[in-house]
């Protein structure tokens, strides 16, 4: 009986130790829109394929991105608070937005998720039909909040530029380097956050492959990719990690990639 109790105690200690190790692993939290997290049927987000490239015995990955969200609505709907509340020192937040920000911010259905353009401190005050007040900020302001909140928890913010759409002009894919991609990079630099130019890395691939090949990645529209297209973008993120010697995520990548 004593021997059996010792075996049971040993198993209990072992399992407790494994649980502690799992708990202590850092977590990479992904926040964004449908290009990061989709239904994983006809259309996929890159956040669903990127775990294939990481050693998950060393790091956890949680995809909290949600279709249709902008920087503004991700905060307004409490989705950022949910992530922020569980951040611990040594965690990471990979953030990418830009596809849903373009409408004029107002109290119409179309304006529900729009933000002000740029990275400044401009605001617009809205009053919703129920009397609720809302202050809407610039795209850059919302990114600063994500970055600063992340740092305040001892976690590491990593800013990404949005994936390019399937839109070509004069044989070249249209890039985000004059608007949302540019603004994301500017805020990352101003706030001392790591930046991965997924837009540029993927756009370089698209230009090389050509419009006829690229359209195979987009089954329904010019924004949402199939699994192959999502994998292209996930690999662009990994390429960006590996190209930056200052990016700490490189130590979690599988050695065979």
For residue 71, give the nearest of 154, 142, 169 by alpha carbon: 142
Choice between 100 and 3, residue whose per-residue pLDDT is larger: 100
CA–CA–CA angle 227, 228, 234 (5° rounding):
85
- Band (20; pLDDT cuts 50, 70, 90): very low
- Name the residues annotated as catalytic: 34, 221, 224
CA–CA–CA angle 41, 66, 71 (5° rounding):
145
For residue 17, the model assigns a pLDDT of: 43
Three-class SS of residue 232?
helix
For residue 181, give the nearest of 156, 157, 198 by alpha carbon: 198
Using DSSP bridges, classify how beta strands 168-169 and 172-173 pair: parallel, antiparallel or unpaired.
antiparallel
> Is the pLDDT score of 15 beyond 50?
no
What's this model's pTM, rounded to 2 decimal places?
0.90
**What are 60-79's pLDDT values in tens digits?**
999 999 999 999 999 999 99
> Is the pLDDT score of 131 beyond 80?
yes
**What are 22-62's pLDDT values in tens digits?**
458 999 999 999 999 999 999 999 999 999 999 999 999 99
**What are 159-215's pLDDT values in tens digits?**
999 999 999 999 999 999 999 999 999 999 999 999 999 999 999 999 999 999 999
N-term to C-term CA, the chain:
51
For 83-117, b where at least 16 C-beta lie within 10 A, e where not — what string?
A: bbeebeeebbbbbbbbbbbeeebeeeeeebbbbbb
**What are 181-196's pLDDT values in tens digits?**
999 999 999 999 999 9
């Amino acid at each position: 009986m004593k021997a059996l109790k010792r075996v049971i105690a040993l198993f209990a200690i072992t399992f407790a130790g494994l649980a502690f190790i799992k708990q202590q692993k850092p977590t990479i939290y992904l926040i964004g829109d449908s290009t990061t997290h989709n239904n994983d049927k006809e259309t996929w987000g890159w956040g669903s394929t990127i775990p294939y490239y990481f050693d998950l015995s060393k790091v956890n990955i949680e995809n909290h991105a949600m279709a249709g969200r902008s920087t503004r609505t991700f905060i307004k709907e409490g989705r950022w608070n949910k992530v922020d509340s569980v951040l611990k020192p040594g965690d990471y937040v990979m953030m990418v937005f830009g596809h849903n920000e373009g409408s004029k911010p107002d109290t119409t259905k179309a304006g529900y998720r729009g933000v002000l353009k740029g990275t400044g401190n401009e605001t617009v005050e809205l009053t919703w039909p129920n009397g609720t007040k809302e202050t809407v900020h610039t795209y850059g302001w919302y990114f600063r909040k994500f970055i600063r909140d992340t740092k305040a928890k001892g976690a590491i913010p990593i800013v990404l530029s949005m994936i390019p759409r399937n839109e070509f002009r004069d044989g070249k894919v249209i890039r985000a380097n004059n608007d949302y991609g540019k603004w994301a990079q500017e805020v990352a630099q101003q706030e001392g956050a790591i930046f991965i130019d997924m837009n540029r890395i993927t756009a370089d691939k698209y230009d090389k492959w050509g419009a006829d090949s690229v359209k195979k990645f987009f089954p329904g529209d010019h924004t949402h990719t199939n699994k192959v297209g999502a994998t292209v973008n996930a690999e662009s993120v990994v390429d960006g990690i590996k190209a930056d010697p200052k990016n700490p995520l490189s130590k979690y990548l599988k050695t065979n990639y």
